[in-house]
Amino acid sequence: MATKTLVQNAFSKGEGVFSMVPCWVPRSFNRPGKRLRLHPDDYYSFGVNRGAIVERWFASTTRAMAPGAAEDDGLSYISTEYGNVLFRDAMDDLGADLIGAELKETYGKFPMYAKFFDYQGPLFHHLHQGQEHAESVGMNSKPEHYYFPVQYNNHLGDFPVTYFGFDPSIKKEEVLECLLDFNNFDTHITRLSRAFRLELGTGWYTPPRVLHAPGSLLTYEPQWNSDVVSVWENVVSGEAMNYNLLSACVLEDRVHDIDYIFGQMDWDANICPDYRARYFRPPLQISKSPSHEEKWICYGNEYIGGKELIIYPGQTYISKDIAAYGAIVIQGYGSFGAHRCESATLIRFGQQTADEFFVSEDAAKKGITITNRAIHEPLVILKHFGPNCGMPREM
């Protein structure tokens, strides 16, 4: 059966909602936190040389950057009656019928994706380039948002603390020296930063060009369509980083140009004295009734939005939104529109689940009827949106 027919049939049968296939991503650094609900035997399913599976991506049309990556690494698939189809191809086939006219005309595709990242230790101090520097290597900038779901954090990892930017007392020359000595010795670059203890059920917005070293909580991360990065910390928890991670996303003739790499940073944003007030994101309640509760968990930016929806036990709620979105069920079971849904407990690599969906704009506007079929347990769903979702833009 032709791919286009498979897509159309799945779209019609799902009443404008796709059931998605789990998209796993390995990384060769750090260690897995093992909170992704993947079977313990399956964390090295891409091969030991690729590293452990530490991320799960949602509604992605972005290829994962990694040595040895396959052509579809990081790309989401939709589930159809006769096999899986790339989400990217389904989007090409359906266009505005899937993502709406505004996103189609402005971006040509769904402009963001989300992920769980799950590391036992803290990540390196790094930044994501701004649009100008990212475009020079054929990529996009990457604003991103973090949220720390209670349901996926049965343990907190080794270091649930995140460094952001640099202390306002720090001079540019001190940071530049760390880059110049990247290959010489452990520069301890985070000694120049400031750190915040992470709080479950809250989040942070991180704009491009700001250094950050995420702590060890499993993190839900809605972000722009990109995997662009520059790693500025050369030794993390005893693990040495290769120089090519510092220079990964620059033109070949700039690989050893430390001044150019340093210039990718927004200095003023990195040393702003009110960083927490500007970028910390506690949840904002949208609505509450005997059947449900909904909150903004990603907001206060121009790119990416996110919500947490809770349906109480035995209740039904019609969830309406103004834009297309991806969704992941993190607790409970029931029905999600025409689909049955259930939060995963133990997933085998390659196994289909019933916890991830993509909702077309038209279906979102009409409303998804969601029923919690549990006796005692809430049904909890996270939603990730592009910029046209009506989120609060101002803090």
Q: Would you list the DSSP string of 276-326?
A: HHHHEE--EEEEE-SSEEEEEEE-SSSS-EEEEEEE-TT-EEEE--SS-EE
Gap between the Cα atoms of 63 and 59, Å rounded: 12
Give the three-class secondary structure for 334: strand
What pLDDT is recorded for position 99?
Answer: 98
Q: What is the pLDDT of residue 1?
A: 64
Q: Residue 390 phi/psi, 5° resolution?
A: 80, 20
Rounded distance between C-alpha atoms, residue 59 and residue 357, angstroms: 8
Task: Kindly give, in sequence order, each residue whose CB lies less than 8 Å from that of residue 28, ignoring residues fewer than 6 positions away.
Answer: 49, 50, 51, 66, 67
- Please give the CATH topology (third level) of the domain spanning 284-385: Jelly Rolls (2.60.120)
- The mean-pLDDT minimum among 58-67, 120-129, 169-178, 190-199 falls in 58-67
pLDDT value of residue 388 = 97
Greatest Cα pair distance, the chain, in angstroms, is 63
**What are the domain boundaries of the chain?**
17-281, 284-385
Sheet containing strand 219-224, edge to edge, reads 23-27, 52-58, 112-117, 219-224, 144-147, 203-206, 280-281
Model pLDDT, residue 395: 61
Residues of the chain with pLDDT > 70, as a percent, come to 99
129-138: average pLDDT: 93
- Output the six-digit token pair for 156: 């907190």
Residues 6+ away with beta carbon under 8 Å from 267: 172
Q: Average pLDDT, stretch 270-293? A: 97
Q: For residue 65, what pLDDT is reported?
A: 80
252-265 residue pLDDT tens = 999 999 999 999 99
Phi, psi of 10 (to 5 degrees): -65, -40
Task: Look at domain 17-281 and name its CATH class.
Answer: mainly beta
- At 60-106, the pLDDT tens digits run 999 998 788 888 999 999 999 989 999 999 999 999 999 999 999 99
- pLDDT tens, position by position, 6-64: 999 999 999 999 999 999 999 999 999 999 999 999 999 999 999 999 999 999 999 99
Mean pLDDT over residues 357-368, rounded?
98
The band of 294, judged by pLDDT with boundaries at 50, 70 and 90, is very high
Are the folds of 17-281 and 284-385 the same?
yes
* The amino acid at 265: M
pLDDT tens, position by position, 160-188? 999 999 999 999 999 999 999 999 999 99
* Contact criterion met (CB below 8 Å) for 222 and 112: yes
